[in-house]
Structure 1
Amino acid sequence: MARPQDDHLWALAHAERAALAEDLSGLRETQWRHGTLCGEWDVEQVVAHLTAAASVGQLQWLRSMLGARFRADVHNQRRLAEHRGSTPAETLQRFRAVITSTTAPSARTPAYLGEVVVHAQDIRRPLGLARTPDVDALTPVARFFARRNFTVDSRTHVAGLHLQADDGPFATGTGPLVRGSTLALVMSMAGRAPYVDELDGPGVPTLRSRLSGSAA
């Protein structure tokens, strides 16, 4: 049985998926081919990845990873291809179908809320879409990212730094201060270097250097 906290986090994830679907519904064909902050993936590929992430349970994930010889990039690319439609409209339709999904490879619910939050901004920022996730959705992601490395090396990126949100309750760590919006902190912890420019404090050069050093 799901815990009340998990139910709350899934409700937030569903709201963020729905908001992204609304943004995507107005895209032109060329915008679906636009680059994102997520490596070499374009907008449609990131959306297909999000659909895959909401469709693969623990056993499916394990079988997929075994088939990929535990190479996460191979696993991700295969599942992306599986959930991508023949057109952007079909890809969006498939994403809409999983908006209320609670399927995930593990019980780390904040990580899957973070998946939606981060990848939505991976899409929005390059396209100039101004929507910002709700601070209520960003705060549990920030806390999770600061506590542990999961799908991103978020804890490593901010080790020995004091993070302080200026628009919400998130604060953690000791050391040189890094201050800014919860969104900028989340995206920076996720390794998205452009968001570091929105932060200030004596710890920012350290964070920027770490992200530069970890860039693929």
Structure 2
Amino acid sequence: MASSPRSVIWPVVHDERRALIHDLEPLPEPLWETPSLCPGWDIHDVLAHVVDSAKTTRLGFIRRMIEARFDFDRDNAVGVEREKAKDPGRTLTALRAVVSRTSGPPAGIATRLVEAFVHGEDIRRPLGMTRNYPAEQVALALGYQVKTTTRMGGGKEIAAGWRLVATDTDFQHGDGPEVQGPAISLLLAVSGRPVSEDELTGPGAPVFLEQARP
């Protein structure tokens, strides 16, 4: 019998949380204020959001959205403020405490992969860190993003009009000028994150990069 999405996805999410903790444990205190790929958030802010997201439950999410008047940005800001300790080490400890949780908002489980991979890169790239993400699972996250509107946190509009082809796993999507690259680079691009010009190739890459640039 084939594994269910939950049995495949949650172990990957937990691995990514552990890997992020491992990478951030030796980080000198001044670097916690490094701007992340998320506009307006530093590295510590993103980590606090990861903790907040790991703690989120379906019912709790609905309550929070009502309190935030269904403003996702407002809700995220409240969550960061709640989970961001004065000492970054305490925020890391908070992530350790929830590393194996399997709760989440009322959305497709693939959103947990999107969170893990995109926020992992939000933190690592500005710090010059690299990670070899599991390409097949990144493709699952990418497949979710290209079918989800930007209003709901996806990248459907960004991906529209292009043929996106992963070079490190079996993933193809859309019609139009072809854009090729590693699945993680395509995922970041359709998620509104900056990627460098040498990450994506193909006849459509230059214009796609220009239009996808946040």
TM-score higher than 0.5 here?
Answer: yes
| CA-to-aligned-CA distance 1:72-116 (integer Å, 9 cap, x gap) | 111101111111223101000001111111110114111111111
Alignment of 1:1-216 (within 5 A): 4-149=4-149, 151-195=152-196, 197-212=198-213, 215=214
Q: Work out the number of aligned pairs and report it.
A: 211
Q: 1:197 to 1:149 in 2, by over 3 A?
A: farther
Mark the runs of 5 or more structure 2 residues left unpaired by the alignment.
none
Q: Partner letter of residue 71 of structure 1?
A: D
Deviation at 1:50, TM superposition (A): 0.5
| CA-to-aligned-CA distance 1:17-75 (integer Å, 9 cap, x gap) | 11111101110101111111011111111000011011111211111111111111111
Cα root mean square deviation, aligned: 1.6
The answer to whether the 8 A contact 1:152-1:191 is kept is no
Deviation at 1:196, TM superposition (A): 5.1
Q: Partner letter of residue 154 of structure 1?
A: G
Identity rate, percent: 33
Mark the runs of 5 or more structure 1 residues left unpaired by the alignment.
none
Structure 2 distance, partners of 1:101, 1:195, is: 34
Structure 2 distance, partners of 1:199, 1:9, is: 26
Partner secondary structure for residue 146 of structure 2 = helix
Q: Partner letter of residue 199 of structure 1?
A: L
Structure 2 distance, partners of 1:85, 1:200, is: 41
The answer to whether the 8 A contact 1:163-1:171 is kept is yes
Partner secondary structure for residue 65 of structure 2 = helix
The answer to whether the 8 A contact 1:13-1:137 is kept is no
The answer to whether the 8 A contact 1:85-1:94 is kept is no
Structure 1 distance, partners of 2:156, 2:197, is: 15
Deviation at 1:205, TM superposition (A): 3.2
Please report the TM-score for the alignment, with normalisation by the length of structure 1.
Answer: 0.92
Please report the TM-score for the alignment, with normalisation by the length of structure 2.
Answer: 0.93
Q: 1:196 to 1:143 in 2, by over 3 A?
A: farther
